[in-house]
Amino acid sequence: MKRLFYLLITIICMTCLSCSKSDNSARTVEDFDFDWKFQLGDSTAFASTDFNDSSWRSLHLPHDWSIEGQFSKSNPSTPGGGALPGGTGWYRKHFSVPQAEKDEDGNPLRSVFVEFDGVFMNSTVYVNGKEVGTRPYGYSSFSY
Pairing of strands 115-119, 140-143: antiparallel
User: Would the pTM of this model clear 0.75, i.e. be above it?
Assistant: no
Find, among 124, 99, 97, the residue nearest to 111 by Cα: 97
Tell me how long the chain is. Answer: 144
Classified as helix, coil or strand, 47 is helix
Find, among 124, 115, 67, the residue nearest to 91 by Cα: 124
Instruction: List the pLDDT tens digit at each of the 144 positions of the chain.
Output: 444 444 444 444 443 444 444 444 578 888 999 999 999 999 999 999 999 999 999 999 999 888 888 898 888 888 877 888 888 999 999 988 888 888 999 888 888 889 998 888 889 999 999 999 999 888 889 999
| pLDDT at residue 126 in the model | 95
| pLDDT at residue 25 in the model | 53
C-alpha 37: how far from chain center: 13
| pLDDT at residue 106 in the model | 87
